[in-house]
Homo-oligomer: A and B are copies of this chain.
Amino acid sequence: MNGADSLCDTLLENDIDVCFANPGTSEMHFVAALDRKPQMRCVLGLFEGVVTGAADGYARMADKPAATLLHCGPGMANGLANMHNARRAHTPMVNVVGDHASYHLQYDAPLTSDIESLATPMSDWVRRIQSADDVSGAAAAAISAANSGYGAVATLILPADAAWTETATPIQKAPPVQRTHVAPDALRAATEALNNGRNTVILLSGKALRSKALETAARIAERTGARLMAQQSNGRIERGAGRVRIERVPFSVDLALNALQDTEQLILVGAKTPVAFFAYPGKPGELVPENCKRIELTQPDDDLPGALEALADAVGAVGATSTPITLLAERSDIGLPSGKLDAAAVIQAIGSLLPENAIICDESLTSGRDAFKSTFSSAPHDFLQITGGAIGIGIPMATGAAVACPDRKVVLMQADGSGMYTLQALWTQAREQLDVVTIIFANRSYAILHNEFKQVGAGAPGHNAHRMLDLDSPAFDWVHMANAAGVEAARVTTTADLSDVLRSAMARKGPFLIEAVI
């Protein structure tokens, strides 16, 4: 076998059997190797931002990494924005980036670039493969890295000559990740804080936002009077009717400061101290009061649900398993919207018509600010967000989630400006016949930037500002776009039409797009 075969076998040996790909010449030996391994599912993206965003969505739902296949520095560069989101979501991901043969780099051929410099900011781990014999070991190390901590982005650079050279090195198995127990000191500090009667927030993220862990956290909150909150952005939350009703830290600085103003103690479980998304003159960077005490209950390698169980034990919230948790959301149908079609109406329709066990992907941004609140009591679902602020994750993330969970309906709430970034992913949905309903919030502007422009105090937007913030001239036609990619679609301009079309889209299988003109 050659190095490319060795890489493919190492991925399969370590339970990575989906490869989102956009290959080029330097990866052709790896493509040939994949071709010899039908057990590897290869999913083509027509742009690298699709590839990395799909790998993110896949891993959030599959709880294991996908591989990506990217072509040289510029090809990887196209995927960096969604690698950034994945890194911020702590998504496990193994990127394979083909490069020139090692001896060819000296010639500075046109596609040559410093891949390490490009990869490092958006990767937790980067390694260049040294030879065909090094392939399997390096790949196993990448897989270990991806699965370590809260989850990590590992980038492996594969020179063409390492791929095409023969090797007899045995296929390496990455050692399974050993989750650590919560540190006794951290547990003691958190327990003391919860028992001292001060105003305490338990801030959760990562695997602490799965339904069972949330129930443990809810028991702790009920026993101690602490408040539960989720980070502003999270890779995945299990929520909806019958699950713990947990608020997120608001995106707006003022709202977040308000929500956290009385916090004397902050217990972090897989989460970071909340900070402002952007700096604004005269406003603080950290969103908890300056003298708030912070306690990190967990470290990245810790078993988060286990840490919460230990904390529940320590504060005497055990035995409460038979007691109903009052923080669970009750199911209630918010009903279908009436009146004008606006963002709130779209969200209401989604909340009302959401099928059981759906996956909501959210890149609705300004339009969807209330989407979280409106779906507390909807059918139970997973909720996947944009995590790193790099727009263009929505359509790819939904694509990847649908690959991971073919039996679940994926519902994507997508802002139009952000959706433009990686619309090529619709083609992958059509090709793979993925069960995704995409709802475009077509406000035909960068609405978030209109808000920010107001904050700057420059008054009403003039000619140049309009030219940079508005998308209405011409309005982009999402129905034509979806059709171009082979996805059926409809445009709606009334609440009644929206409800009708959405109901039928929820009932059918396969990709569908709704352009909601709001």
**A145 on the B face (CB < 8 A):** no
Q: A113-B122, A121-B117, A476-B484 are in contact. Are A107 and B275 (CB under 8 A)?
A: yes
* Contact flags A76-112 to B (C-beta < 8 A → 1, else 0): 0110110011001000000000001101101111110
Residues of chain B lying within 8 A (CB to CB) of residue A34? 464-465, 468
List 25 A-B pairs, Cβ < 8 Å.
A21-B468, A25-B277, A28-B456, A32-B465, A34-B468, A35-B463, A35-B465, A38-B464, A42-B467, A46-B417, A73-B84, A75-B390, A77-B77, A78-B80, A101-B278, A109-B275, A109-B278, A109-B285, A111-B388, A113-B121, A117-B118, A160-B278, A420-B424, A477-B486, A481-B484
Nearest-CB distance from A202 to chain B (Å)?
21
**A290 on the B face (CB < 8 A):** no
Residues of chain B lying within 8 A (CB to CB) of residue A461? 35
Q: Write the residues of chain A forming the contact surface with B, with a CB cutoff of 8 angstroms.
A: 21, 23-26, 28-29, 31-32, 34-38, 40, 42-44, 46-47, 49, 69, 72-75, 77-78, 80-81, 84-85, 88, 100-101, 103-104, 106-111, 113-115, 117-118, 120-122, 160-161, 164, 233, 272, 275-279, 281, 285-286, 387-390, 392, 417, 420-421, 423-424, 427, 430-431, 448-449, 452-453, 455-456, 458, 461-465, 467-469, 471, 473-481, 483-486
Interface centre among A104, A456, A480 (most CB of B within 10 A): A456
Number of copies: 2
A278-B388 in contact (CB<8A):
no
5 further A-B pairs in the complex, CB-CB below 8 A; given A21-B468, A427-B476: A25-B277, A77-B77, A77-B122, A78-B80, A480-B484
B73-A77 in contact (CB<8A):
no
Residues of chain B lying within 8 A (CB to CB) of residue A47? 392, 420-421
Residues of chain B lying within 8 A (CB to CB) of residue A85? 74
B285-A104 in contact (CB<8A):
yes
List 9 A-B pairs, minimum CB-CB distance, nearest first.
A474-B486, A74-B390, A32-B458, A104-B279, A101-B279, A480-B484, A77-B80, A107-B275, A111-B389
A100-B388 in contact (CB<8A):
no
Q: A44-B468, A74-B390, A452-B28 are in contact. Are A109 and B458 (CB under 8 A)?
A: no
B77-A81 in contact (CB<8A):
yes
Residues of chain B lying within 8 A (CB to CB) of residue A40? 464
